[in-house]
Structure 1
């Protein structure tokens, strides 16, 4: 491939990265404009916290490894892992806080009767599993006492559970667009547009992660 073609690809990917960021920010504001405007009780904070955890934070943590982003290119490998770990940890805690509000204030077990609630709970559980294996990757000697697995295996499990947590969390968000609370305050057209943009903007950050996951898969097996 010629140098000019490579430059065009780099420019295109760079542009897509920031279009995706713009869409992500717009979706966050769309999901939160009702809580920001009305603060309709404790449930508003569930919407704000969970949306913030999945859309800006987790998406950004994954995009760190896309490889053609200006700010992440300035970071060395170790710094990227540190930034990734901090962002994912904060995102997990934010999502957990948002989910605790549901568990505390809705009828016991109500969240398990909806696709939105079930996928949200599964995603949160996978996030903590991913965090645990992420710690094992960063501290391999200490992890040997509890996880008799190769570091490359720990990394593979960390990545695949993290991607599943993100994907299922975004699925939960998409189901959330059609919950009674959201339908009451929004129109059908805006929800349909938000659904399409959420799916499109969430897929792009995963391209670098899947390439890395495939390389690890070959190493593990």
Structure 2
């Protein structure tokens, strides 16, 4: 941020209003995309609940729990740190961190429940486990979520890892790993939209809305994390954070 301000100050005076206007437009556009992500996540989960209603089978809980975990809860947990669409802008960083780990823990529990339901349902009907790309990516996503949560918990006790890695570096690793996890989750979600269950229950063009929603969320989260951490990763060690 300071480097950007210094660079802007070096620009000719007649260009400064133009640069400021471009930054303002870009910021408003990012804010629109990020705020829309909240609405799209709710609509996506609501539609999954609608498709699964009245939950007459055990399997019907699987897509609902997974969409709640990764489309709604994990997205919201990350957006708590968004400068453009944070729903609790006046909260302190410590409070945001508390919200972040509570909501992500809830997401993990929903994901584990969704995975357990899938395994039980397969056992009930004597079917093989994880034979599709959706199933393989799904179990990898849940396993990765467990690892991410375990590693992320070390950020709550920085003194335990102070002798091994700097806190600033640990935050960078956690955010980067989180982006990989969210990308893997979105890949699993997209593959899930090609399953027989979704094709047989979804309604026409709504499929395109679901695909667009997953793409929208992934772009918003990718932009947030890269904008927050990539500029720092290119600085000299003494200048970082």
TM (norm. structure 1) is 0.85
Is residue 163 of structure 1 aligned with residue 179 of structure 2?
Answer: yes
Q: Which of residues 50, 61, 67 in structure 2 aligns to 1:33?
A: 50
> 1:113 Cα shift?
1.0
Work out which of the residue numbers 60, 63, 68 in structure 1 matches 2:79: 63
- Greater displacement, 83-92 / 18-27: 18-27
Query: 2:200 is matched with which residue?
Result: 184
Distance 1:70 1:150 in 2: 27
Of 119, 127, 140, 2:145 maps to: 127
CA contact (8 A) 1:53 1:92 kept: yes
Structure 1 residues 71, 182: closer, same or farther in 2, change over 3 A?
Answer: closer
CA-to-aligned-CA distance 1:156-191 (integer Å, 9 cap, x gap): 332222222211111111111111111111245322
5+ residue gaps in structure 2? 1-15
Count of equivalent residues: 218
Deviations 1:57-86 (A, max 9, x none): 111111122212353321122111111111
Contact kept in structure 2, 1:46 and 1:99, CA below 8 Å: yes
Q: Which moves more between the two structures, 104-113 or 21-30?
A: 104-113
Greater mean deviation of Cα atoms: 42-51 or 152-161: 152-161
Distance 1:163-1:70 versus aligned 2 partners, 3 A rule: closer
Shift of 1:152: 3.3
**Higher mean C-alpha deviation, range 102-111 or range 78-87:** 102-111
Q: Give distance in 2, aligned partners of 1:111 and 1:217.
A: 41
Deviations 1:9-66 (A, max 9, x none): 4443333322222222111122221212x31311111111111011111111111222
Q: TM-score, normalised by structure 2?
A: 0.79
* Structure 1 stretches lacking a partner, 5+ long: none
1:27 and 1:73 map into 2 onto residues whose CA distance is 25
1:109 and 1:132 map into 2 onto residues whose CA distance is 32
Indicate yes or no: 2:156 matched with 1:138.
yes
Is residue 117 from structure 1 mapped to residue 135 from structure 2 by the alignment? yes
CA 1:139–1:48: 2 relative to 1, 3 Å: same
RMSD: 2.5
How far apart are the structure 2 equivalents of 1:99 and 1:140? 32
For 1:89-128, what aligned pairs fall within 5 Å after superposition? 89-107=105-123, 110-128=128-146
Distance 2:116 2:85 in 1: 35
- Counterpart residue number, 1:205: 221
